[in-house]
Structures are given as structure tokens and as C-alpha cells.
Chain A
Amino acid sequence: MTTSSSLVYLIALPLVGATILLLAGRRADKWGHILGTLMSASSFAVGVYQLTQMLGRSNEARPVTQKLFEWISVGSFKVDAGLMLDQLSICFVLLITGVGTLIHIYSISYMSHDHDRRRFFAYLNLFIAAMLLLVLGNSYLNLYVGWEGVGLASYLLIGFWNQKPAYATASKKAFVMNRIGDMGLSFAIMIAFATLGTVSFDGIKAASEHASTAALTAIGIMLLVAATGKSAQFPLQAWLGDAMAGPTPVSALIHAATMVTAGVYLITRSNFIFDAAPTAQLLVVIVGAITLIFGALIGTAKDDIKKALAASTMSQIGYMILGAGLGPVGYAFAIMHLLTHGFFKAGMFLGAGSVMHGMNDEVNMRKYGALRKFMPITFITFGLGYLAILGVPPFAGFYSKDKIIETAFNAAGNKGLILGIVTLLGAGITAFYMSRVMILTFTGKSRWDDDAHPHESPLLMWLPMAILAIGSVASGFLLSNGNALVNWLAPLFAEHEEEAERLNPNLVSGLALAVVALGVAIAFIKYSRQEVAAVAPEDVSVFTKIARKDLMQDAFNEAVFMRTGQALTATLVKTDEAVIDGAVQGVGSMAMGSGSVLRGIQTGFVRSYAALILVGAALLIGAIWMVTK
């Protein structure tokens, strides 16, 4: 362990940027975007500095800590606001600030016509700061602050154009669904505190060796719930497609490269919990497997280029979650896929933004076609990302995705066989829908609207795309050359034995490539050989219809959760009106009712009063006589 006083600058720089931009208001319109980009870039510079420092130390001395201040101190319970930068965090720091800075640069041009560009950069900086806090926190409580911060930034950015009601609704949907996950995280923290008495990573790691499996399983499941919310995994995945309402740079940065991978970070960071709780770990694998197929199937039916990419993101994060669920052998590969995915998916999203930029913000791929000649740079950068996600050697996805498929096959028992086949199948479907995106957008005949004048994007937009494309080409090789990333991360994870190989790695790669080739071929036959209708055909099979509706996820949520929720609230309102209000008003009306009955006795006739007194006296005497007899 090493201490450092410069960690805080990583977070403070973008946070200061966000504060200045939000407080300065319209005065900052002229230079706000430059300040925002500089803050993000300088945070990246601090990250690179930290990496060079870290490289010069031995494995044990690599993690860096910094105590900021004493946050909570109640009796024996103490939580410091502290930062920790270790081998895992530095990967995220460089991804967040690096890709983040590129996307800041891209946004300068992409958002240049938006008169709220300064606010956009303020939110982007806020996001960078929150995400860095998430990956740098040294306890679950610090992580939670960042976790909520990125949720807020995501909400603000999805609803950036909230003058459109549909976009405002999309941001609310994302926020509410994320809250369910956040609740999981807070439960996990509470259970950890109740059973282990601490919330710091180190403390829980030490305590987990003696803790009961039941407690660790409960914590693990709650952490998984948190991860499914933030990472758009089954069953909390429905918000990601709608989140594409945000400006495209946001989709690239937050809803593809960084924030949605927070769930993978959480599970990898909590590896000591999941390793000790096999049930929770199995659930992680199941969630990953379901989501990777689920997202891929949605991707095949989407005509909106951004929603197709969003479905793809969901599916690729499914791969990462599955990898992380495979235990110590899989964590490093999950992180590797996360990093390569950060490059190629951000690059493709920026490419999609570039296409939209040239096509009057049209997102329907059926109205694209033949854009290759008009946008050569976008075509090449997008194409390199495409080859990377397919897993064609030597592009990045080949190294990361193949490793996950291979590790899945090697898992013991039937689990390995099922997971291997699922991941292979996912690779095939991925190849199909990504080829579909490529073919519909860049090749074939033009199906543009009449007023479309496609043109290549300016330098500030294609430069980040080009850099990310280089990353899509080279990152896989660089990270896996000599097992670089695996060895880098190894000190963080439990030691594990080499598992027996079910299939030869070369055979797995061959199988994966064959499945990918099949997917590409089907897409080619279906969309390149045949005419593509500019309007989506209606006479399609029921499966297509279901896939177009995101596999009924919204209908399901509406029927199961929204309707029952509404019924619950309706019942509660009725109960409130009948029981609570009824009791209060009942007291009043009872007093009034009994009063109006008793008022009848007050006739005003003296003789009847006298008679009543007489009867009363007689009864009293009778009663006394009865008692004393």
C-alpha cells in the first residue's frame, strides 16, 4: 500500500469544471466546452501519471490510497471518505477519462448548434467526476455516492432535450429502474454492516473469510440486483433502449463505454464475496447468459441504429457479467472485454452520431443506405469497430470475447457446456445484427429522405472516432499479449488452478469464427441480396414482432409491476380514505349523530324534565335497593 495526495485531483478537476459551468450560466457559453474538455483531459493526465507511478512499483505496493476526511464516526463505527487506486481501478480511470475526453472533443462539434452546449458539458463533467468516485471509493459507502452520482448524471443527460415529453419520460424510466438496483446496493451495504460490521472493501474481504455463507450469499444477490440495474441486465434491462433519447455522445460514453459497465466493476470488485457464495455466483452467470441472448435478439429487429447498438451493448455486458460470474478465472477476461468494448462500442456510437449528423438526425436505418461513398471516414472507423465486435482476428473483440467463450466452455460439468453454447450462439446473433446494421447503413442503394444531403463530419468529430477505431484494432492484442492484463490484475483475485480444457482453444476460436461467418452470411443474403424496404414491413412473423417490442419487456413490466403497483396504490388510497380518514371523520360524525339523538330529549317542557328526574331517582333508588338487599 502506498499513500498519495494526488488521487483527489482525478475527481476534483471534473467536479470543479461542472461546478463552474453550472454556476457561471450563460456567461460561460463561449468557453464552457473548452473548460469542460480541459478538465476531463487533465484528469486523464493525472490518471496516466498514476499509471506510470504504479508501473514502477512491485505488485504489493501498487494500490494507492488517500484519506480525504473522516466521514461518519458513530461509536466504534467509522467510515472515512477515502480513495483507493489499485490495478483494477486504474483500468477504469483510464477508460473513463480517456474515452471521456475523446467524447468531450467530439461533443464540441456535435453539440455546436445546441444553445445549451455549456450545460451539456457541465453534466458530462459531473458524470466523469461521479464515475471516478465510483471506481475510486475504498468502501461500499463511498462507491454508493459515486453510484448515485452517475445515476443522476445519466438522468440529466438522457433528458437533456427534455422539451420533448418522450425524452423526459425516457429519463424518468431510466432513473426509476436504476433506483431498484440502487436499493439492492443499499441493502447489500446494510447486510454487510449488520453481519460483518464493516463496509470497506478491505474490511469485508478480511471478514468474509469467517462469515457465514448465508450472509455472503445475501450480500452477493443484493449486489447482483444493483449490477443488473446499473448495467441494464435481465430483469432490469428495459431502460437502456429508451436511454438512447439522450444526445449520441452520451449514449457512447455513459450508455456504452462506462456507466453501464459499473455493474461489472461492482461484481469484480466484490470477487471475494462471490467466490465464497457459489449460489450468488451461479445467479450472476445465469443473468449474464440470459441477457447476452436477450440483447442480441432485440438487436436483430431494431431499425433505429442507436437502439440496435444499445441492444448490442446489453448483450456485450451480458458477456462481461457471465465472465465475472465464472469466478477467479473469468474476472480478468470480463475486464478485458469491458475495456475493448469501451473502445469499439464508443467508436460505433460516435459513428452512428456522425451518420445522424449527416442525415438530419434520422435514426431509422431503413432510410440510410449507400453512405459508404459519402462518409468514408465514418465507414472505415465504424467498420473497424464492427470487425472488433464480431471477434474477427486480430481485432480487439477476438481476444476478449473468445477468452470468455473459452472460459465458459471450460467451466465444470453441464454448466460449461450450456454456457459455451450460449456464448457461441450469442456471437452468431451478434454477427447477424451487426452485419445488418453495416449493410443497411453503408451499402446497397440509397433510401434517403428527399432533403437528406449526407456529408462527412468535421475533424473534431472524426478524430475521436479514428482514435477509438485504433483502440478497437489494437487494444485486444496489447491487453492480451503475454497475458498482460491477466497478470496485471492477478494480485486482486483469489488464486485459481488452471481448469481442464474441455475443448482445444484453437477449436473454440474456429467454432466461434464459423458461427460468426454464418451470422454474417445470413445477414448478407437477407439484406444485401434482397431489396430493403424503406418502411419496415408489417407482414412479419410473430417472433419479429415480439423482438421489435423488445421481447415484450415493457409489456411484462407493465402487466406485472406497473399494474400491480397501481392496484396496490389504489388499495392503499382506498384504505386511507376508508380506514384512516374514516376513523377521524367517524369520531366527528359520531359526536354529531349522538348529539342529534340526545337533542330530542331536550323538549323544553318542564314537566317532561320533571318526569325524567322522577324516573331517574326511582331507578337510582331501585338500584341501591337491589345492591344493598
Chain B
Amino acid sequence: MDAANYLYLSVLLFTIGAVGVVVRRNAIVVFMCVELMLNAANLAFVTFSRINGDLNGQVVAFFTMVVAACEVVVGLAIIVTIYRSRRSASVDDASLLKR
């Protein structure tokens, strides 16, 4: 099977994630879209690792997973705190710094 197909899938996933981040209001969904983009990047790394025949890409993918796990911890904590105080998880409502 042609490795390029994995790259096409990666681009597709990344685009879906990016559009989701820009378009959706719910913080949880935006968060999941960010995860989607990270995983799209991971897929690209692994694919390039396979194409080039070395392990560099796969090592970076592990790092990305660790970063993503940390991000989930901090991000979810923030979202939950915002939800508790504002009774809303909409990112558009959280624009207090503007004023």
C-alpha cells in the first residue's frame, strides 16, 4: 500500500481539526479538535519515519503524545473551572480580557 495515502489521511484529519477549532464554540469540542490536529501530526511523523526508514519520526510521535497528555490535564482543568464559574463552556463567552 502506498505510504502517501497515510499522508492524505493526515492532511484530512488536520484540516477537520483546524476547521473545528475555528468554527465550533464549545470548549470541549474545540479541545477535541486540537487533539485531532495533534494526532494528524503524529500520523504524518510516523508515516515519514516509515518512508525514510529510520526511527526519528516515531520518537517525536511519543513526545507529542506526552505533550498532548499534559495538555489534556491542564486544558480540561481550565475548562471545568470556567464551566463552574460561568455555567457555560462556550469559548466566545470567555472574552472578559477584551473589556
On A, residues with C-beta under 8 Å from B are 602-607, 610-611, 614
**Contacts A603-B95, A603-B98 known; 17 new A-B pairs at CB < 8 A:** A602-B98, A604-B95, A604-B96, A604-B98, A604-B99, A606-B30, A606-B91, A606-B92, A606-B94, A606-B95, A607-B23, A607-B25, A607-B30, A607-B92, A610-B21, A611-B22, A614-B22
Cα distance A605–B95 in the bound complex, in angstroms:
6
Q: Are A605 and B91 in contact (CB under 8 A)?
A: yes
Q: Which residues of A contact B21 (CB under 8 A)?
A: 607, 610, 614
Q: How far is the CB of A228 from chain B (nearest CB, A)?
A: 75
Chain B residue with the shortest CB-CB distance to A612: B22
Give the chain A neighbours of B23 by CB distance below 8 A.
Answer: 607
Query: How long is the Cα–Cα vector from A602 to B95 in the complex, in angstroms?
Result: 10
B73 contacts chain A at the CB level, 8 A cutoff? no
Residues of A within 8 A of B97 (CB): 604
Q: Which residues of A have CB within 8 Å of B98? A: 602-604
Alpha-carbon separation in the docked complex, A602 to B18 (Å) = 20
What residues of B have a CB within 8 angstroms of the CB of A611 in the complex? 22
Interface residues in B71-99 (C-beta closer than 8 Å to A): 91-92, 94-99
In whole Å, how far is B36's beta carbon from the nearest beta carbon of chain A?
Answer: 14
Interface of B is mostly: helix
Please list the 8 inter-chain residue pairs (A to B) with the smallest Cβ-Cβ separation, ordered nearest first.
A604-B98, A604-B95, A606-B91, A611-B22, A610-B21, A607-B22, A610-B22, A605-B92
Q: Chain A residue with minimal CB distance to B27?
A: A606
List A contacts of B91 (CB < 8 A): 605-607
Which residues on A sit within 8 Å (CB–CB) of B18? 614
Interface membership of chain B positions 15-27, coded 1 if the CB is closer than 8 angstroms to chain A and 0 otherwise? 0001001110100
Q: Which residues of B contact A603 (CB under 8 A)?
A: 95, 98
> In the complex the two chains form, what is the Cα distance from A607 to B98 in whole Å?
14
Nearest-CB distance from B91 to chain A (Å)?
5
> How far is A614 from B30 in the complex, measured between Cα atoms in Å?
14
- Which B residues lie within 8 Å of A607 (CB)? 21-23, 25, 30, 91-92
Chain A facing B: main interface SS: helix
Task: Supply 26 A–B pairs (Cβ within 8 Å), ascending by A.
Answer: A602-B98, A603-B95, A603-B98, A604-B95, A604-B96, A604-B97, A604-B98, A604-B99, A605-B92, A605-B95, A606-B30, A606-B91, A606-B92, A606-B94, A606-B95, A607-B21, A607-B22, A607-B23, A607-B30, A607-B91, A607-B92, A610-B21, A610-B22, A614-B18, A614-B21, A614-B22
Bound together, the chains give a CA A254 to CA B46 distance in angstroms of: 107
Which residues from A are CB-within-8-Å of B99? 604
A163 → chain B closest CB, angstroms:
67
CB distance from B68 to the nearest CB of A (A): 17
Query: How many angstroms between the C-alpha atoms of A610 and B21 in the bound complex?
Result: 7
Smallest CB gap from B94: residue in A: A606
Cβ < 8 Å to A, chain B residues 1-39? 18, 21-23, 25, 30
Q: Which residues of A contact B25 (CB under 8 A)?
A: 607
Q: Which residue of B lies closest to A610 (CB)?
A: B21
Among B22, B25, B92, residue most surrounded by chain A Cβ atoms (within 10 Å): B22
Residues of B within 8 A of A610 (CB): 21-22
- Taking CB atoms, residues of chain A closer than 8 Å to B30 are 606-607
The answer for the CA separation of A130 and B8 in the assembled complex, in Å, is: 102
Rounded to whole Å, the gap between the CB of A598 and the closest CB of chain B is 14
Least CB distance, B20 to chain A, in whole angstroms = 10
User: In the complex, what residue of chain B is closest to A611 when comparing beta carbons?
Assistant: B22
Report how far A603 CA is from B97 CA in the complex, Å. 9
Once bound together, how far apart are the Cα atoms of A607 and B96, in whole Å? 14
A72 → chain B, closest Cβ, in Å? 70
Distance of B21 from chain A, by nearest CB (Å): 5
Residues of A near B94 (CB, < 8 A) are 606
A488 to chain B, nearest CB (A): 98
Closest CB-CB distance, B86 to chain A, in whole Å?
14
Cα–Cα, bound, A604→B94 (Å): 8
Name which residue of chain A comes closest to B97, CB basis: A604
Q: Which of A602, A603, A606, A614 has the most CB of B within 10 A?
A: A606
CB proximity of B82 to chain A, nearest CB, Å: 11
Report the bound CA distance from A605 to B98 in whole Å.
8
Nearest-neighbour CB distance to chain A for B25, whole angstroms, equals 8
Give B11 Cβ to nearest chain A Cβ, in Å.
13
Give B91's nearest chain A residue, CB to CB: A606
Closest residue of chain A to B24 (Cβ to Cβ) is A607
Q: How far is the CA of A602 from the CA of B97 in the complex (A)?
A: 9
Q: Separation in Å of the B23 CB from the closest CB of chain A?
A: 8
Smallest beta-carbon distance B94→chain A, Å: 7
CA distance A607 to B99 in the complex (A): 17
Minimum CB–CB distance for B2 against chain A, Å: 23
The answer for the CA separation of A605 and B22 in the assembled complex, in Å, is 10
Tell me the minimal C-beta distance from B69 to chain A in angstroms: 21
> In chain B, residues 49-75, which have Cβ atoms closer than 8 Å to a Cβ of chain A?
none
Complex Cα gap A603–B91 (Å): 12
Q: With the chains together, A603 CA to B99 CA distance in Å?
A: 9
Minimum Cβ distance to chain B for residue A605 (Å): 6
CB-CB < 8 A to A602: which residues of B? 98
Q: How far is the CA of A611 from the CA of B92 in the complex (A)?
A: 14
- Complex CA distance for A610 and B22, rounded to whole angstroms: 6
Cα-based distance from A610 to B92 in the complex (angstroms): 12
**CB of A315, distance to nearest CB on chain B (Å):** 85
Cβ-closest chain B residue relative to A602: B98
CA distance A602 to B21 in the complex (A): 18
